[in-house]
Amino acid sequence: MLLAIDTSTGTSVAIVDRDRATGDLRTLAETGTDDTMRHAEVIGGFIRDALATAGIDPASLSGVAGGMGPGPFTGLRVGIAAAHAFALGIDRPFVPVPSHDAIAWSRYTAGETGPLQVVTDARRREFAISEYDGLDADGLPVRLSGPGLVPRDALPDPVGARFEATIVSAAAVGLVAELAFAAGRLPLTDDAPLYLRAPDVTPSAGKRVLR
């Protein structure tokens, strides 16, 4: 059973589980908002609400899954930091999942077939984009390329379908993590945020004193 968090677009928190006997996947609770400006203000309450709705004690969790982006620096780091802190607090592993993989998985399990272009807003008049081609034998999305950045006015035409996500489902993040664990394919990505560009604010090089 996993707590899952994603703040690569809006903010989403979920509790998910995979029955080891049957392989059935379940979403026990999910809450979120597509507001891209209030990640830090809402994340704590969403975690509390998801646990309460699911009726789960944190000690019952086997890990914490976090969406690693791509996403803007400020929002993305809020969710990753919260997921890391929660995992540390309950002494459980942190499981990183590419957020675009979770979007693609959601679309394919909802009935989408064939090539799929996943697009999210990267700000600064750019999109983050990844290309997929269905699910593999383990039920995980097959990523052909990405994530990468493209100008909004240069978004390539999709080979198949295009889906522009305004929020990444934390339940999908968690269920992709559960599938990857069952298939022995963790980690799916490095434990490093997929910012795709440097943050706006960088450390000062220090003062130069002239004599």
Task: Provide the whole-model pTM.
Answer: 0.92
Neighbours of 39 (CB within 10 A): 25
H helices within 27-169, ranges in order? 39-54, 73-90, 99-109
Q: Where are the domains of the chain?
A: 2-182
State the angle between helix axes of 170-182 and 99-109 in degrees (0 to 180), rounded to the nearest 10.
Answer: 90
pLDDT in single tens digits along all 211 residues of the chain? 999 999 999 999 999 999 988 999 999 999 999 999 999 999 999 999 999 999 999 999 999 999 999 998 889 999 999 999 999 999 999 999 999 999 999 999 999 999 999 999 998 899 999 999 999 999 999 999 999 999 999 999 999 999 999 999 999 999 999 999 999 999 999 999 998 766 554 555 555 555 5
H/E stretch holding 81 reads helix 73-90
pLDDT at residue 207 in the model: 53
Neighbours of 128 (CB within 10 A): 28
Which runs of E-coded beta strand occur in 52-125?
Answer: 63-67, 94-97, 115-121
16 and 26 Cβ atoms separated by less than 8 Å: yes
Cβ neighbours for 52, distance < 8 A, ≥ 6 positions apart: none
**Joined tokens for residue 167:** 């929020």
CATH class of 2-182: alpha beta
Q: Which phi-psi region, left, alpha or beta, contains residue 133 (left: φ > 0; alpha: ψ -120 to 50)? A: beta
Peptide bond preceding 203 in cis form (omega within 30 of 0): no
pLDDT at residue 204 in the model: 52
- State residue 30 phi and psi, 5-degree precision: -155, 140
CA-to-CA distance for 61 and 47, rounded, in angstroms?
13
CA-to-CA distance for 33 and 25, rounded, in angstroms?
23
